[in-house]
Amino acid sequence: MKVLLIEDEQHVAAFIRKGLEENGIQVLQAFDGTTGLTMALSDDYDVIILDVVMPGMSGLELCSKLRKEYDNQTPVLMLTALGTTDDIVEGLTIGADDYLPKPFKFRELLARVRALSRRKTALGKTLSVDDLILDTEAKEVHRAGKRIELTAREFRLLEYLLINKNKVVSRTDILENVWDINHDLGTNVVDVYINYVRKKIDHGHANPIVKTVVGMGYTIKDINRENQE
């Protein structure tokens, strides 16, 4: 596993690097946001560990650039002393995959890094339902032959729903598996992103892909199975 660590506090960076390397993980480092962005774009990493408050460019700005400008979907773990719910929601909204407030226990950081690295699953190249196809390698989505542009978070949400096709997944399930949050943040972020995805994949089509199961969550069903029920 190869990790990019972007952290300006020297003692924190040294602590994290030592622990990761002792667990067989290769670590490359940057100590400011500008250098970190350059390194993130110049190589492939399994996980990026990213501080929020840094010289040159904040972690939030860096993460936003990775997702929106460069379509870089490397899993990002945010580390910061800013641990309020609003801070967490902001980080997740701009594209971070997980959020760990300082101070933290190294065991928890290691577990989260390993969980994020497992995201590169060997499920096969494509997932599909009806006339919609999601390519897990090319990170592309097509419906009826037309390409649909999704953000990194929207792609992961649709991918998770397709992996669980014909099952109902709750908002908590989605938070845990798409945002890596194991508790309710008290926001409607899941519903907001469901609507984003729906508008993009269902526009101009008579058959909606993502269905709401009132009081339970969301599902995607094979059209043939749905007609039999």
Q: What is the pLDDT of residues 129-138, one digit of tens each?
A: 988 999 887 8
Enter the pTM of the model. Answer: 0.57
Return d(Cα 132, Cα 55) in angstroms, integer. Answer: 43
pLDDT number for residue 94: 83
Return d(Cα 27, Cα 219) in angstroms, integer. Answer: 39
| Amino acid found at 48 | I
Query: How far does the chain reach from its first CA to its final CA, in angstroms?
Result: 45
Complete DSSP assignment for 75-98: -EEEEES--SHHHHHHHHHTT-SE
Q: Which position has the token pair 């899941």?
A: 190
Domain architecture of the chain: domains with CATH: 2-117 (3.40.50.2300), 126-228 (1.10.10.10)
Closest CA to 114 of 198, 39, 25: 25
Segments in the chain below pLDDT 50: 121-123, 225, 227-228
pLDDT number for residue 185: 63
